Structure 1
Amino acid sequence: ARSHADSSINERRLRPVYDYLDNGNHKKALQEAEKLLKKQKDFSCAKALKALALVRLTRMDEAYATLKELQQEAVTDDPTLQAMTLCYRELERPELIVEAYERASQKEPQNEELLTHLFMGYVRLGQAKQQRHAALALHRLRHKNPYYFWAVMSLVVEAGQPDTSAVERSTLLLLAQRMVDKFVKEGRLEAEAEVQLYLMVLEMQEKYQEALDVLEGPLGEILTSYLDFVPQHKVELLSKLQRWPQVNSICKSLLLDNPDHWLFYQLYLDSVEKLQASGWTPETQSEKEAELRPRPDHTFELALDFVESLTGAWTSRPGSSVLRGPFMARISVLAREGAGTSRDLLVGLLMEFFERTGHKASCVLDISHLLSSFTFSEEDVVRLLDKMEDSLKAALPDTWHVPPDVNTMQRHLTWCQLRYYLTRRDAPPSKEQRLQLVRDLFESYQNGLRFGIGLLPTDFQPSDNYAILAGCILLDVWQESGDNRVLLWLLAALERALLNSPSCFQLKLLLLKVYGRIGAATACQRLAELLDIKHIQHDTLGYLVTPVFLKAGHLQAAGTNMNSALKLFTGNYKDTTDYLISCYKYGSFTKIQEIVRFRERLNNSLQFATLTAEKMILELLLEVKSQESLKQVMSCLEIDPVHDKTAWHELRDNRDVQIFREWGASRKKLLADALERSRQEEVMWLRIRNLLLRLLAAGHALTQGGLQRPVGRHADHGDDGGCQANGERPQAGLSVLCDLLGSLGELTRELDASTLASPASCFPVQCPGPSRLPLFVGGGCLRTLQGLFHWLEQLYRHCEDLPVESVPSEDSKVRDNLVPLVKSLVSDVRAREVKSLLDAQMYLEQLVNLAEVVGWCSLVLTVGSTIVRPTRNAVTRKGKKKKEAATDEVALKQFSLLLAEVEAVAAEARSLVGDSRVVLLAPLMATLSVEEEDPILPSTGDTAKDVHQRIEQSYEESLKELGALLDTKLKLLRSLH
């Protein structure tokens, strides 16, 4: 009773501190906590809250000192430990949370709550072995099943860790199985989650028969029967055991209950194919197989009879809806029979399927799936499409392309979509024919709008897919011709369709792709906001937005977008850890491995790695305005020049291209090839960005006292002799720089030998846009930066009186050509012709590359200025040896020459950016008009003007931001004299 009274008194005293912390008044909270501590020095909770206030006031040293006192006291009361946990979370030190609970549980080993918190702390750190020990300690203290199975799951997690060997994995899983076996023998399994964990352990060891015995035994009755979990799981296990008669029988029983489940049909037909191939017959069946009900079908003839019986049984029911599954299965059975089936029969069945289900939006997907899954020739596809067209015309001879009702409209739309996606792409119709087709599609679209009158803004219009299909065709025409009028028709028509259907994400995505292709970043930003891309979509769909901002020079928007996206990745570990803890609390063991895999997939995301590098480069370009600010930014970025922290072999490309529909098999192959090429280029681009950042960090480190590292493979770069720099051997840091230069040289040669895709080539609408790599490498930017860092190395050698290489090499040629390379950057941009908006996008991208190279030059020259500063001072002093004085003069001459050239190039680039608005973009935008043309979609004149304005505003914003960046770099360069 006295303890309870003391607790109530303490809680009342602490209430003001909690209130101030909750309200954000941390200074007042600190004062209140200190008042309490003056009255009661050993008030541990007040100390913890004081530490929390100090953390939030960014007085970290004092906070750590206070927390260290509490750690030494080994406090055990929950309010204090919870406050300490908050402190360590905000300090991002989860290991100290575990340390606090370890001390507390050692002091009170019988405290169940402390041990539970300790277990969850180990989960946060991913320490599976310690998890197991904590869980077993809990089970010894309180004989509860959940604690025991926490230990079992900890063994499974430990077995799944990357550093666990095959032998250790086998041992750990066997131990987990024996632990569960013990409970099974004692009849102590109580919950469904425990049985599922048992199944998981058995399947991870590939003990499928034992897992099947569990499902068929009394433990299987504990499992829930929702969504046919047990039968489906049995089918999976039997398939792995290759027991096809049982698979066939179970699938038949499932189909009798649910005759429209396509997955069951696929498993059923696979089992029929296996049985027929193996020659299995009822005469050769075992005694156990003879008891199977329903009886297995071992030939396609029997399978066809079964499927037709399903069709007849269902259609005979009064009021039954049209089922797709049995009809698709019937076609699949006949198609799998191969040579014995007439192609005319299959085409006829597909036509019958179209007649029955053509009014459903799913019909186009079903037919395209069947056509791509089996060997249908081009002639078969053309005959099918002709039959569909004849059917539509027979029903409505005069108005078949402007149907009078929704169902007829959907049948016509299905035919239009199949005609586009399934016909050959190597010999497309002429431009005029395709434009006429687009006009017809938009006429059908306009006609279909009357069926959507009165729909909510969140509903899709029934005719939206007409506009999307017409947009894809127009996009093909524009990419082939580069005609600005076609582009304006495309954008105006899609924008008008979006006004009619504000929630249609496919329209937004298509517009986003087209605007991105011409570098209209402002319009892309508007569409990204309409799409409301957030959370995991930053990883899967971020490739549609961020690269557009960077290539168009919208640096502020790019920075904002990258900040939002990086929050997902940086918070990934914390968020998924919370999910893991919830899984342990509620017994969702089957989700734990899934969450761990999800976390690793995000951690190894190519998008994450690219965003991190691009954000660092953007901060360097925008924030560095002096030598002091360079030092501050480099300190904040914490770039490690010695160790490459990117796990290149584990990078995952999580970009979602399937959000754009594609049904043709030939186009799927084109997409797969383009996607793989895009992935390779993005990885190569990331390697370049990482090397440039590490090179700058290595150069900056030379000005801060060098780096400590073991002698690497470039030990021959002056390892013997040389003067001391800041009390350290200067060669240590120089060796790192030389290693990185060697890596950059190898990468440059690798890129020179490879064939990069032309950025002007046509891309499938599903594929990510062209990488920045081709223009950056082809425009000489990479060679320029390579020469720039070689120049920095030589400058440092001269200033430190280190040996300079005397044998010319490929890299030294690049360095010697640095000044001509820098000068050529502006002339290359001036020489580019801008005849279309696609040319305008590439022109802007080259301007961005030019501005970025100027930015890199200013950063390296800022580092060089710090290196030559002692040399400048030394030249003015008397008494130096002639050799030393000559070396100093060479270094100063090198620095002054390059500084003058880069400053001249920066000034010329700034002038070029200013002239671009008048000389190039204004005349181009003046040609972007359809006032005298027949628009594709009627009444889009105002929309076309809006599109014109958005594109023009976007280009002006690009030039404005690039001009501001170059002004900043010019100011920085002038300050280095």
Structure 2
Amino acid sequence: MMFKQQIANIGALDGARNKEAIRACNRLLDRGIKTTRLQLLKACALARNGNTAEAVELCKKVESQKVIFSDQNDLRVLDIVYSELGRYSDIVRIYQEAHKLDASNPDLLVEIFMACTFTEQWEEQLKACVTLNKTQQDDRYFWWAIVSRFLLAKYGDKSKASLQISLCEKLCQKAFNDGKASTLEHLRIYLDILLHQDKHEAALDAFQLNPKLQALLVNDPDLAVLKLDLLVQNYKINEALEFSSQLLENSDNWLIYKCYIKALVADTDNQDPWVLLDKYSKQEDRSRNACLGRIELASNFLKLKKGFPIELPRSQNQYIWDYVEKFGAKPVCFSDIMPYIIEWYKRQGNFGPEFRQELERYLEKALADQKNGSNKKQALINDVCETLLLLIAGIKDKSLSHGEFILLGSHYLIVAANKLFAEGDFDRADSLRISALVSLLSGIKNNQNDFQLKLLAIRLYIYFGSFGQAAELYESLNNKHVQHDTLSFLITGYGGPYAFYKQDLDLLYDSLEIYHLNKQDTPRMIKLAYQNGVYSKVPEFVEFQRRLCNSIQKAISLRFATRNEMMLHRDIRSIIKEWKQVDDNAFSKESNPTEWSDNRDLDILFCCSPPGYDEYSIERLTRCKQLPNNTWVDVFGLVSQIMAKISRKEKDSLSDALKLLSETVSDLKPGNSLSKQEYYLAKSVIGLGNIAVKAFSDESYMCDKDELACIFDPWKEDFQNQSEFSSFYLEEIPYFSSCLEALGAEIQTIHKMAVSSLKQKIKTAPKKAAEHIEKKWLNSDDEGAKNISEFLRKQYYPIVKNTTESLTKSWLKSCRLLRTEFDQRG
């Protein structure tokens, strides 16, 4: 009884008070209470406290006693400890060891099966499941075996994939014939297997296999839409029209409308395809999808070849304007019709007189109370018609209170700013960007939940060097889980150029956490899907897990985080210590997946980034530097490896890494995959690495002053050729300086005068550039607000004033940080 009370006192484990739990375990162990359970509790506390090596050693010690494999409760605790340590293959192994001792225990087979979801050991999983199915005669295990075999076909040995998928199909057919397929989930997984093989006709036939399931389709929109789509693909047009009409009687699902429209377009005998859409467009509670459906139908007809027998009762333009007239007040109106406007514009090449007339009518409404002269009105009309993405600005409310109007207006200002910048008019370009930021902040003030406005404001804050405000705004988005993978590229890695290393690092670690959680949480969701019989979710979760594991943004964030960790340290001994601790495997090309998953949402600003119009892409227009790609990942992985190997004096592996980096950059040109400065950094690190190899090979080697100094020559020449500088242009210099300092500290034979001379070169050019940036920005009259439009200045003067003042202060802070960085690194 006393022992149970003492064990109960280790509730610190549940409260995440791991050190307290370790002390409590040690007290009990010192009293001679050396039970397996107590040792495992201590191992769990050690794992959660970060004492990984000690926790693993204790687990191995417990395993060596063998008694644990006969106690399932202790085995589950060991399972928990290995989960905390991320050693999922060990979990599979311990249950396999236990099963050897108790082969008749089905629970152990279930544990093996579930543990394999963490390790993707599909063959081992299938083997466990087949044994379960044979010994237990449970339909549940029969379907587990089908799903497991399907995963083996998708992700296992490609040479056996065809055989495995064929077996899956036959097993599903057997299940339907034997009455083992009784739920929609059974039908779903069978359809997944058939569609994976592109067997569309067989998939359509599968809907007829169980009449009871057929009756349930009406209440399952996803399966109903899939059946509709298959009917159209298999040219069962009349059946598709009949089924979709039946579904639309009780459903206002847009996907059903789209399938119905596909069938209408394919039915060349239908002389009046508009009847149903016109009918539902008049019903207030469901008119939006029906009205949008009319635009979709008109769009589909216009895509067909000339001579199609059906005449449009109204033009697509008129349907678009009808939609705007009816739903213009809704926030989604613009995003609804944008694809059709883009498509129509591409087809016509211009907006045409009809569109201009309609647009002018709406603009007159918008301008009525602003007392603008006719010249201004006509100029605005011309601008709108020539600039696609300002099209709907005149339709929206006349004040800057509507989120989409602000977004579109800001986009127009950014497009104009980029054109001015390209022409060399930098002052006016910056004024327009400030105008855009003011507009966005006015919208955010009215609606704190407007996701789109915040994202664009973040990018503009970064452009103006206000990383602190950008980070604050990004954190207010409250991104959850996978959103870090899709959106973090908008801000992470942008703090370094302004010397905001700590703030940038915090954001990077927040985004990297999702990848760690993915390894634990997603397999748990897969286990729940199996347990609850939601079989179609298993392949979805597996694919989701693999995309996150292979995410290129994960690799990019890890490389930026490593860089920022180094830059946080001023003391060279601390920097070298950090380099020595770098895990080479995390950066090696061998550890890279065969294919990266690029999950970055480059179209997140959907209102402003129409597909096919890259010159108008808001994401592209607000980039301050190149978007990292596969080559960037390889290069900066190798840079990190090289610096780590220099710090650890690993000559042989250092030579191999240098050879790989040289081969990677040999065919590159500055500006292609790497910016000019990133390219120079890679070449310079190769130079530093070669000097290190010579020094490690020959203790008498003395680095020549000119040999070291010439490494920096391309940078110096590049500075002299530049008339404009930005902090992103200077980003690589402090990092290179840090690398040089680490090399000098590790290789005592390097000529001190050579290092000193090179550091002086590194210090002078970028410091002057930083001073140039600061003076140029501050020389603008009225702190950069001189050319902000009169409308903004009058209507939103407090926001204009606060924005320009905060930008000035933030920019000064960035400049001070940069100059301090150059002083201390140089």
TM-score relative to the length of structure 1: 0.72
Aligned mates of 2:229, 2:297 — CA distance in 1: 23
Cα pair 2:647 2:746 within 8 Å, conserved: yes
Is the aligned partner of 1:234 residue 2:134?
A: no
2:123 matched residue in structure 1: 129
1:215-226 to 2 correspondences below 5 Å: 215-218=207-210, 220-221=213-214, 224-226=217-219
Per-residue displacement from partner, 1:129-179 (whole Å, max 9, x unpaired)?
222232233334433222221122111111111x4224x112222333343
* Unaligned segments of structure 1, at least 5 residues: 1-8, 275-296, 405-414, 447-460, 707-731, 757-770, 805-811, 834-838, 869-891, 971-977
Distance 2:505 2:610 in 1: 38
1:930–1:750 Cα change, 3 Å: closer
- Based on CA coordinates, which of the two structures has the bigger radius of gyration? 1
Question: Match for 1:136: what amino acid?
Answer: V
* Alignment of 1:512 onto 2:430: no
Which runs of 5 or more structure 2 residues have no equivalent in the other structure? Answer: 371-377, 421-425
Which one of 542, 558, 570 corresponds to residue 504 of structure 2? 558
Partner in structure 2 of residue 387 of structure 1 = 357
- 1:369 corresponds to 2:339: yes
Q: Distance in 2 between matches of 1:140 and 1:343?
A: 61
Establish whether residue 773 from structure 1 lines up as the match of residue 675 from structure 2. Answer: yes
Q: Partner of 1:750 in structure 2?
A: 668
2:743 corresponding residue in structure 1 = 860
In structure 2, C-alpha distance between the alignment counterparts of 1:570 and 1:668, rounded to whole Å: 34
**Corresponding residue of 1:612:** 558
Higher mean alpha-carbon deviation, 236-245 vs 596-605, is at 236-245
Amino acid in structure 1 at the alignment position of 2:351: V
User: Given the superposition, is the C-alpha separation of residues 331 and 801 from structure 1 closer, same or farther in structure 2, using an over 3 Å criterion?
Assistant: closer
Which of 276, 279, 282 aligns to 1:310? It is 276
Aligned with residue 850 of structure 1, among 719, 733, 736: 733
CA 1:669–1:249: 2 relative to 1, 3 Å: farther
Q: CA RMSD, aligned part only?
A: 4.3
**1:342–1:663: structure 2 CA closer, same or farther, 3 Å change rule?**
farther
Structure-2 change in CA distance of 1:544 and 1:375 (3 Å)? closer
Question: Could you tell me which amino acid in structure 2 is paired with residue 942 of structure 1?
Answer: P
CA shift, 1:111, in A, is 3.4
1:22 matched to 2:14? The reply is yes
- Give 2:86's aligned residue: 92
Matched, 1:693 2:693: no
**1:282: which partner in 2?**
none
- Output the CA distance in 2 between the equivalents of 1:904 and 1:212: 73
Question: How far has the Cα of 1:223 moved from its partner?
Answer: 5.0
- In structure 2, the CA distance between the partners of 1:848 and 1:371, relative to structure 1 (3 Å rule), is closer
Partner of 2:291: 324
Question: In the aligned structure 2, how far is the partner of 1:666 from the partner of 1:181?
Answer: 44
Q: Which residue of 1 aligns with 2:712?
A: 822
> How far apart are residue 574 of structure 1 and its match?
1.6
**Residue of 686, 689, 692 corresponding to 1:789:** 689
* Contact 1:512/1:524, CA 8 A, preserved across alignment: yes
The one-character-per-residue Cα deviations of 1:735-766 (angstroms, maximum 9, x if unpaired) are 4255235325xx155215xx65xxxxxxxxxx
Report the CA distance shift for 1:597/1:341 in structure 2 as closer, same or farther (over 3 A).
Answer: same
CA pair 680-817 structure 1, distance change in 2 beyond 3 A: farther
Secondary structure at the aligned position of 2:731 is classed as helix
Distance change in 2, residues 1:418/1:91 (3 Å): farther
Cα offset, 1:564, TM superposition: 0.8
1:962 to 808, 818, 821: 818
Q: Tell me the equivalent position of 2:136.
A: 142
Q: How does 1:659-698 map to 2 (within 5 A)?
A: 659-660=604-605, 661-662=607-608, 667=613, 671=617, 682-698=629-645
Q: Corresponding residue for 1:6?
A: none
Residue of structure 1 aligned with 2:317, choices 344, 350, 354: 350
- Residue 84 and residue 298 in structure 1: after superposition, are their counterparts in 2 closer, same or farther (change >3 A)? same
Change (3 A) 1:26 1:566: closer
Query: 3-state SS of the aligned residue for 2:589?
Result: coil
- The amino acid across from 1:773 in the alignment is S
- Identical amino acids, percent of aligned pairs: 18
The CA deviation at 1:353 is 5.0
Task: Give the 3 Å change call, closer, same or farther, for CA 269–854 of structure 1 in structure 2.
Answer: same
The answer on 1:654 being equivalent to 2:621 is: no
Distance 1:417 1:469, change over 3 A: farther
TM superposition shift of 1:215: 1.1
Distance 1:515 1:960 in 2: 17
In the alignment, the residues of structure 2 paired with residue 511 and residue 339 of structure 1 have an alpha-carbon distance, to the nearest angstrom, of 45
Deviation at 1:330, TM superposition (A): 5.2
Is the CA contact 2:366–2:395 (under 8 Å) kept in the aligned structure 1? no
The answer on 1:644 being equivalent to 2:589 is yes
Corresponding position of 1:287: none
Aligned-residue offset at 1:305: 0.9
Corresponding residue of 2:190: 198
Q: 1:221 to 1:638 in 2, by over 3 A?
A: same
SS at match of 1:845: coil
1:941 matched to which residue of 2?
A: 797
Show the 5 A alignment for 1:518-667. 518-623=464-569, 625-627=571-573, 629-640=574-585, 643-645=588-590, 647=592, 650-660=595-605, 661-662=607-608, 667=613
The CA deviation string for residues 694-741 of structure 1, in whole angstroms up to 9 with x for no partner, is: 22234334x25x4xxxxxxxxxxxxxxxxxxxxxxxxx4464255235
Partner of 1:953: 809
Q: In 2, distance between residues paired with 1:823 and 1:367?
A: 54
- Confirm whether residue 154 of structure 1 aligns to residue 37 of structure 2: no
Shift of residue 360, structure 1, vs aligned partner: 0.6
Q: Secondary structure at the match of 1:799?
A: coil
Q: 1:592 to 1:859 in 2, by over 3 A?
A: same
Contact 2:567 2:735 in 1 (8 A): yes
SS in 1 for 2:207: helix
Deviations 1:805-839 (A, max 9, x none): xxxxxxx9xx9675155367468658855xxxxx5
Quote the Cα distance in structure 2 between the aligned partners of 1:129 and 1:42. 38
Q: CA deviation at 1:538?
A: 1.8
Q: Tell me which residue corresponds to 1:470.
A: 409
Asked if structure 1 preserves the Cα contact closer than 8 Å seen for 2:730 and 2:766, the reply is no
- Distance change >3 Å, CA 15–CA 641, structure 1 → 2: closer
Q: Per-residue displacement from partner, 1:568-617 (whole Å, max 9, x unpaired)?
A: 12322222111111111111211111122222222222211111112112
How far off its partner does 1:781 sit?
Answer: 4.3
Q: Given residue 121 of structure 2, which amino acid in structure 1 is its aligned partner?
A: Q
What is the distance in 1 between the residues matched to 2:122 and 2:647?
Answer: 41
Residues 968 and 535 of structure 1: CA distance in aligned 2, closer, same or farther (over 3 Å): farther
8 Å CA contact 2:610–2:617 kept in 1: the answer is no
CA contact (8 A) 1:737 1:793 kept: no
Gap change, CA 1:123 and 1:908, over 3 Å in 2: same
SS of aligned partner of 1:535: coil
* 2:89 is the alignment partner of 1:70: no
Shift of 1:530: 2.6
| Paired residue type of 1:133 | K
Structure 1 letter corresponding to 2:123: K
User: SS at 2:668's partner residue?
Assistant: helix
Q: Is the 8 A contact 1:583 1:591 kept in 2?
A: yes
Contact 1:931 1:941 in 2 (8 A): no
Q: Distance in 1 between matches of 2:788 and 2:77?
A: 72
In 2 relative to 1, CA 67–212 (structure 1 residues): closer, same or farther, beyond 3 Å? same
The corresponding residue for 2:367 is 401
SS in 2 for 1:516: helix
Aligned length: 802
Among 161, 164, 180, the residue aligned to 1:172 = 164
- The alpha-carbon distance between structure 1 residues 828 and 734, as it changes in their structure 2 partners (threshold 3 A), is closer
Contact 1:94/1:124 (CA < 8 Å) preserved in 2?
yes
- Aligned equivalents of 1:652, 1:188: Cα separation in 2: 37
AA aligned to 1:514 is L
